[in-house]
Structure 1
Amino acid sequence: MTYPEIPVFQFLTDIAREFPENDAIIFADKHISFSELDLYTNRFARFLQDNGVQKGDRVAILAPNCHQNVIGFFGALKIGAVVVQNNPMYVERELEHQLNDSGSETLVCLADLYPKIKNIRPDVKLKNIVAFNIDDSPVSTGDDTVDLQTIISNYSSDYRQELVGPGDLALLQYTGGTTGVSKGCMLTHRNLVANVLQSVEVLGKNYRRGNDYVIGVLPLFHVYGLTCIMNMSVYMGVTMILFPRFDPKTVIEAIHDYKVGVFFASPTMLIAINTYKEIGNYDLRCLHTCISGSAPLPNEVKEAFFKLTGVEVVEGYGLSEASPVTHSNPVNGKVKIGSIGLPVPDTDMMVIDINTGEECAVKQTGELWVKGPQVMSGYWNRPDETANVLENGWLKTGDVVEVDEEGYVYIVSRKKDVIIAGGYNIYPVEVEDVLFAHPKVQEAVVIGIPDAYRGESVKAVIVLKEGESATPEEIIAYCRTKLAAYKAPRQVEFRDALPKSAVGKILRRVLREG
């Protein structure tokens, strides 16, 4: 493919000329057109310049999904600033680390989250705090904040245009910290532009350009939501319906009422919709594209959603270090159950034996390495960590995979999640697939726990379907009919819920530490 040598915000500038009156965003009862979004981001850009923000400075955003998040993102990029998205569920210690690590001096913040910032204010370098209420009402958090609504209502839109090139840094996308300290992936305008076009080529076959709706419930502070919902929607001129949190009822109602075409989801969201008690009262057959990412998609979930909507859920794969999309099953193409699909255009892959470092043959298990225009330039201020994951342009994903004869990739495990019991490698996903097929199991995750004799043994943590009951012995006996004895769980714990990240990824580290 060819990629235009443009900054990301050019998507908004161009689409506002093409579809000025079309809704860019629907949030609660508020509708914002593309021309209004372009105007508001220009005004915010001017405010930033008037308050000393220069090209290359970091502008942090601390907000759930809402129109103010989108305005902050594009407004900062328009003056060449670097956006730092922050998880609004973070506690003060995590926010302090991220703000200091990135060197952020400006923050766009939901007023309800301001108390967290006030408590760490002496320990961070913030000079400008722009606050907002989610309903656009005036903010009253103190003298050290400026109201975003006042800026976008009254400020001049005449900002000084900087020369922002494709190689300039656009985003510090912090990793979720699921494998240790959160690190800032340096993503350039070229990385983000390329990944939008790569994703459109594979996932956007059914989009109705300028006339479609996208469910925007995946968090925009996560790179999956940022690229596939926000940036893809702006590029295609379709409307994002934003939600600050996932609630199955409100998402189902929006799909039904607006005749939504596109749903980017996680398996947890699909499970919640499949099992929603009043689902029979709604028509979801307007959907034409549904993409699942962030965690493996159980086949039972995929089949149940197909019966409900007539849409085949397409599983994809990505990571923060790659903007994020590197693989997907093709929309309207050959989908293989249990596979993350094929590399997206212009993305090369290798599978490397984790013991020998040699390249693997077909159906041989090894670590996935990828290379392409979407791969980050490195971790912010962490040359040693960068050297550990980047080698001659290749990104070492840390995921263990197999590739079949047609090039379709199957995730076997995270390299760090492989359980080694008595010298045998056990891949959690294989055990989890068996557990998911049990009629009483709604969700399941497998971890390794210390074992004095074997080194490690398998523990299953399970959420049962509503109204069901089971014993550990029952689950273990079932697994032993489906798996070699060494792979079967030796411990089973039942829980009401599993710890998850904002995009529905199960946090194995939390379970191991707990």
Structure 2
Amino acid sequence: MTYHQKPWLRHYHPLVSEHVNVPYKSLFDLLEKAAAEYKEKPALTFYRRSWNFIQTKAIAEAFAAALSHSGFTKGDRLAIMLPNSPHYIFSLFGGFRLGGINVQVNPMYVEREIKHVLNDSGSEYIVVLDSLYQRIKQVQPGTNLKKVVVVSLGGERMALGDGDQYFEDFIATGSRMPDVAIDIKEDIAMLQYTGGTTGVGKGVMLTHNNLLSNVVQVCDFVYRAYGDQRPADLKMISVLPMFHVFGLSCNALAGIREGANQLVLPRFDPGEVIEVVKREKPFQMSAVPTMYFALNNHPHLAESGFGNVNYLSSGGAPLPVEQINAFESKTGSRILDGYGQSELSPSPIFNPPFLAPKPGSVGIPVPGTEVRVVEITEDGLADVPVGEAGELAVKGPQVMKGYWNRPKDTEAAIRDGWLLTGDIVKMDEDGYFYILDRKKDMIIASGYNVYPREVEDVLYQIEGVDEAIVVGVPDEYRGETVKAFLKLKAGAELAAEDIILYAKQNLAPYKVPKQVELLEDLPKSSVGKLLRRVLRDEEIQKAPKVGV
């Protein structure tokens, strides 16, 4: 068995093709076709207000016309710094309409991070939430920003600086728009900045074809298999941040493509999500693992109605099997894990709903995707034997164009069309993939390779452990030693000795944490991803310097 034989294809549903076909001229064409097909069906519901597909397209066009009137042209960068809201969708597709490059700006960024993204991207236009407006004004003098559009989701309007406008006033200034020719394979649609956990955040260049291809790949994998069972009033909970590539693709774009009513939530609150599930009976929800952790700890999860949600997916970080089992035992509904990253628009591999998932696996490759497990040699990329660990390499239409203004980083990441993901994986004989760990997160203790994910999975099996991060810390004797940081569930009482004893019973000696630290909270990104590198960097800083 080899990777080139694509053993995963034999698991495909009869209605799912091996190939991917993109029937759109651009990302705005995606909205245009949806508006023509779904017309007055609700596209976005934000608390008590809904916008149908025709209205959504009309507001996006009005925003584009105003942008054009203000001097915005093809290739200009439009920064969007908004939580999940209808205005995010309006701004996103308005930028697409003019052939602009939308720049994702995390609303949780502080001034230093905002300034880096704006300057690195060269953004001259920004759409920002009113409560974040002062942050933008603080950094504006040190950037190229010349137009600030402010979104208010309620409450009194504040006074704005000269030239700045509220969204509703801004869209009233446009008239006609130019026709813009889009080359979907070459023209950049998005700059998605990496989290910066491996250094300074880099702008991932995603073309119209990258994003459209992955939306088609994912939607075909998820929705085609349901056939006539798919409800006419398809609803999805859109709580994943749209400024993150997971939420952008699986909600913001997929919702438009599938004619879904996106139940838009600006932030994750487990009680609110449970109420929405009870009231709206959605078809689908995508979330990151820490969202499922929070739902697992909610006292009313069992009677929430999650058992009637057809498709629940997880991504962004590894989802421990114990957490999956806990959720499924309380709700009767399956969580299907997947794998992705910004450079892949974001999804090459996940568990489709028409297959029973294998415990611990992130699934099989989506249509139109080639996948290998490799090691880097002097002669290039060499496949490792099936079943053995190596680096995941992906080729397909969802592979990014490269890193913005970073040709050397692009050259290092993409070899002959294969994206080197930096993740250590293995594939079994059935074509299912298992993520072992980040290549850079691997711990080398006394010459042995230790994958933090494996140790974390064992620690999650301990009753009372809520969240776990395992890192390698400097050790004069071993090179690195294993340290575990744990957050306990409310009311749980565990000593470090108890945790180490359990680990000794379930792991080879060199994998057992030699140090355990209990914390009230573990560091997370804005989308709820546990940040291993933050804790590891802190440990490196604390370690004594050799020779000093």
TM range (shorter): over 0.9
Question: What is the identity, as a one-letter code, of the residue corresponding to 1:312?
Answer: R
Q: Closer, same or farther in 2 for the Cα pair 1:158/1:144, shift >3 Å?
A: closer
Rounded to whole Å, the distance in 2 between the matches of 1:17 and 1:85 is 28
- TM-fit CA distance, 1:138: 4.3
Deviation track 1:281-328 (CA, whole Å, cap 9, x = no partner) reads: 532233000000011111122122223333211111111001000101
Secondary structure in 2 aligned to 1:276? coil
Q: Which residue of 1 aligns with 2:496?
A: 472
Rounded to whole Å, the distance in 1 between the matches of 2:199 and 2:400 is 19
2:91 to 53, 62, 72: 72
1:419 to 431, 443, 457: 443
Q: Which residue of 2 aligns with 1:159?
A: 177
2:51 to 16, 32, 41: 32
Q: Which residue of 2 aligns with 1:149?
A: 168
- Counterpart check, 1:239 vs 2:257: no
- TM-fit CA distance, 1:133: 0.9
Rounded to whole Å, the distance in 2 between the matches of 1:435 and 1:164 is 50
- Counterpart check, 1:229 vs 2:248: no
Pairing of 1:166-185 with structure 2 (within 5 A):
166-167=184-185, 168-185=187-204
The question of whether the paired residues in 2 share the 8 Å contact of 1:78 and 1:161 is answered with no
- TM-fit CA distance, 1:242: 1.3
Rounded to whole Å, the distance in 2 between the matches of 1:509 and 1:208 is 41
The question of whether the paired residues in 2 share the 8 Å contact of 1:92 and 1:116 is answered with yes
Deviation track 1:312-347 (CA, whole Å, cap 9, x = no partner) reads: 111111110010001011212141111111111111
Note the residue ranges of structure 2 that are not aligned, 5 or more in a row: 1-19, 539-548
- TM-fit CA distance, 1:483: 0.7
Question: What is the identity, as a one-letter code, of the residue corresponding to 2:360?
Answer: G
Greater shift, 351-360 or 430-439, is seen at 351-360
- TM-fit CA distance, 1:159: 2.3
TM-score of the two chains, using structure 1 as the length reference = 0.97
Rounded to whole Å, the distance in 1 between the matches of 2:95 and 2:155 is 20
Deviation track 1:135-156 (CA, whole Å, cap 9, x = no partner) reads: 286453222311102234x355
Q: Closer, same or farther in 2 for the Cα pair 1:65/1:157, shift >3 Å?
A: farther
The question of whether the paired residues in 2 share the 8 Å contact of 1:209 and 1:236 is answered with no
Q: Which residue of 1 aligns with 2:42?
A: 23
Secondary structure in 1 aligned to 2:383? coil
Secondary structure in 1 aligned to 2:506? coil
- Counterpart check, 1:506 vs 2:506: no
Rounded to whole Å, the distance in 2 between the matches of 1:151 and 1:58 is 18
Q: Which residue of 1 aligns with 2:346?
A: 324
Q: Which residue of 2 aligns with 1:486?
A: 510
Pairing of 1:94-105 with structure 2 (within 5 A):
94-105=113-124
The question of whether the paired residues in 1 share the 8 Å contact of 2:77 and 2:101 is answered with yes
The question of whether the paired residues in 1 share the 8 Å contact of 2:191 and 2:203 is answered with yes
- TM-fit CA distance, 1:385: 0.6
Q: Which residue of 1 aligns with 2:151?
A: 132
Greater shift, 314-323 or 277-286, is seen at 277-286
Question: What is the identity, as a one-letter code, of the residue corresponding to 1:83?
Answer: N
Deviation track 1:158-200 (CA, whole Å, cap 9, x = no partner) reads: 4222112212111111111111110111111011110000001
Q: Which residue of 1 aligns with 2:235?
A: 213
Rounded to whole Å, the distance in 1 between the matches of 2:408 and 2:107 is 29
Rounded to whole Å, the distance in 1 between the matches of 2:489 and 2:181 is 55
Question: What is the identity, as a one-letter code, of the residue corresponding to 1:71?
Answer: F
1:301 to 320, 323, 334: 323
The question of whether the paired residues in 1 share the 8 Å contact of 2:437 and 2:452 is answered with yes
Secondary structure in 2 aligned to 1:107? strand
2:465 to 425, 441, 452: 441
Question: What is the identity, as a one-letter code, of the residue corresponding to 2:458?
Answer: V
Greater shift, 77-86 or 332-341, is seen at 332-341
Identity of aligned residues (%): 44
- Counterpart check, 1:114 vs 2:136: no
- Counterpart check, 1:4 vs 2:28: no
**RCO higher in structure (CA 8 A, sep ≥6):** 2
Greater shift, 242-251 or 353-362, is seen at 353-362
Pairing of 1:336-351 with structure 2 (within 5 A):
336-351=358-373
Rounded to whole Å, the distance in 1 between the matches of 2:416 and 2:24 is 23
Cα RMSD (Å) = 1.6
Question: What is the identity, as a one-letter code, of the residue corresponding to 2:441?
Answer: D
- TM-fit CA distance, 1:267: 1.3
Secondary structure in 1 aligned to 2:306? coil
The question of whether the paired residues in 2 share the 8 Å contact of 1:444 and 1:461 is answered with yes
Aligned residues: 513
Q: Closer, same or farther in 2 for the Cα pair 1:400/1:511, shift >3 Å?
A: same
The question of whether the paired residues in 2 share the 8 Å contact of 1:43 and 1:151 is answered with no
Question: What is the identity, as a one-letter code, of the residue corresponding to 2:204?
Answer: C
Question: What is the identity, as a one-letter code, of the residue corresponding to 1:133?
Answer: S
Question: What is the identity, as a one-letter code, of the residue corresponding to 2:209?
Answer: R
The question of whether the paired residues in 1 share the 8 Å contact of 2:306 and 2:333 is answered with no
Secondary structure in 2 aligned to 1:31? strand
Q: Which residue of 1 aligns with 2:404?
A: 380
Question: What is the identity, as a one-letter code, of the residue corresponding to 2:322?
Answer: E
The question of whether the paired residues in 2 share the 8 Å contact of 1:40 and 1:157 is answered with no
1:286 to 280, 292, 308: 308
Greater shift, 411-420 or 333-342, is seen at 333-342
Q: Which residue of 1 aligns with 2:7?
A: none
Rounded to whole Å, the distance in 2 between the matches of 1:136 and 1:166 is 40
- TM-fit CA distance, 1:504: 2.0
Q: Which residue of 2 aligns with 1:202?
A: 221
The question of whether the paired residues in 1 share the 8 Å contact of 2:308 and 2:333 is answered with no
Secondary structure in 2 aligned to 1:200? helix
